[in-house]
Structure 1
Amino acid sequence: LVDHVSIYTDGWDYPILHSISTALGAGNIMGLSREQMGNALGLAIVPNICLSETRLGDVSNWKGFAGPNGSRNGLFAAFLAKEGITGPPTPFEGKAGFMKQLNCSFELGAFGGGQTAFKVEGTFFKHLPVRYDVQLPVGIALEVRDRVKLADIESICVYLEKRSVVTRAYHPNLWNPISRETADHSGPYLIGAVLVDGGITEKTFTPERYRDPTILSLIQKIRMEEDPQYTATFPRTINSRFEVTLKSGAVITVHKENPKGHPANPMSDQELEAKFLKQVDSVLAKKQSRALLDALWKLEELDDFNKLFSLMQVPAA
């Protein structure tokens, strides 16, 4: 579905895709009939198309909840269908359905299995704790930091594909973040933070850092522009290029393609495990984290998902 629908074009937001996939996945686990699955789909789509206003301007706490809420709505739809609740029968093709609202029409291709690859095999993993469209620029910023003194920088132009370009005229808040949510969505801020601090950590998203005068001064020197060649190859190949103009007039150019975690530059199993454990060890005992990870690696062999959920229970404080 993601391959056929441009969610953001008309101001909609992607958690509706969470609702759809969760409803169908949960319905499959529940053993819903074909008719019930159709109802679950209608109950997931029609009430839950949401607005991309969530991610514009000074971003609120809701940004982090929107995706999980989409999944919650999808699960609720599956439960309703299981209990016999019917949903709108034409959620996609109806006169006021999904296609009409998103101004699109499509035929879905084959599902994975047999000779057809599963979509999950083409997952884009985040190697760094930032949004995907700045994975590559943040990596380039680390290299620039090793080559250039910050005091010598006159300006930085970051070239990207069209979809990832933001401008100060349309998104001024990204050059002056006042909240964690805006900071972690701001390419200019994340680039500036890496240039100053040498990496992205939990501290990067504290007021002490995103209101730091040194970082704020530096990001005023950053602008983003489209390179049409990068747009043409996206997302098969993701490119980014920095042109750093120094006060001396010299220009340093650094180009990279396909960040770590891209299907063409995949993370190893060991790197994925390390990322998982770094996140989970902070809330679960290490032994429990390891047991959960081992269970996830063998997910398709589980005969009872309660075994998995029990491993996710956070011990009482």
Structure 2
Amino acid sequence: MHGNAQTKLQFERTDVRNLLEAQFSAPYCLAVAATSGRATLDQFEPLRTGDAEVRRLMAVTSIRTDRVLGRRDYPSLEVTFKDGRSDYLDIPFAKGAPEAPIPDDELVAKAMSLLGPVLGTGRAERVVDAVWTLEQCTDFAQVTRLLALDAEDVR
């Protein structure tokens, strides 16, 4: 990665022991994305730090402090292959920013991946439906009831 000193300080974690550290570890995020094709919650819980290929990729990932980044700028990514070739990727806006909106199907899939394990699939689907029709909602308490966990649901 190419960034600045703050990028390195904030994201070059290689000793990842929990979900939060994994989310703020560029080496971990890039390694799980490279090995699985995604960086979704199931790549972070349980942690994949025991996976030899994830550990290998984390070990060869570094952040170079060779960029001046503004408040809204993102680090660039450069991948150098064993044969010496390099690919460079610069994403000007994070997915979900107004300039790079998330497609509806991806947004629903993300919501379901986060809500489903906690609320159950059926209830999670009702939450998603309620949010999609929020402008027509006449009683917001109906939506909040869908989100409230019963005492037996709390783990």
- Return the TM-score normalized by structure 1: 0.39
4+ runs of 1 displaced by more than 6 Å?
Answer: none
Structure 2 counterpart of 1:159, one-letter code: H
The one of 24, 42, 61 equivalent to 1:185 is 24
The structural deviation recorded for 1:294 is 2.7
Q: Which structure 2 residues correspond to residues 218-297 of structure 1 after superposition, within 5 A? A: 218-228=57-67, 231-232=69-70, 235=72, 238=74, 240-244=76-80, 246=82, 248=83, 250-257=84-91, 258-297=93-132
Shift of 1:253: 2.3
Equivalent residue, structure 2, for 1:165: 7
**Does the Cα contact within 8 Å between 1:183 and 1:205 map onto a contact in 2?**
no
Contact 2:7-2:75 within 8 A present in 1 as well: no
**Alpha-carbon distance in structure 1 between the residues aligned to 2:121 and 2:32:** 31
Partner SS state of residue 215, structure 1: helix
> How many equivalent pairs are there?
150
Residues 230-253 of structure 1 deviation map (CA, whole Å, 9 limit, x = unaligned): x14x52x6452314153x4x2312
Contact 2:78-2:89 at 8 Å conserved across structures: yes
Distance verdict in 2 for CA 1:243–1:289, change over 3 Å: closer
Q: Take 2:140 and 2:94, find their aligned partners in 1: how far apart are those partners?
A: 34
Tell me how far 1:262 sits from its aligned partner: 2.5
Question: Normalising to structure 2: TM-score of the pair?
Answer: 0.71
| Identity across the alignment (%) | 20
Counterparts in 2 of 1:302 and 1:224: CA distance versus 1, 3 Å = same
What RMSD, in angstroms, separates the aligned Cα atoms of the two structures? 3.2
RCO (CA 8 Å, sep 6+): is it higher in 1 or 2?
2
Q: Which has the higher strand share?
A: 1
Change (3 A) 1:251 1:182: same
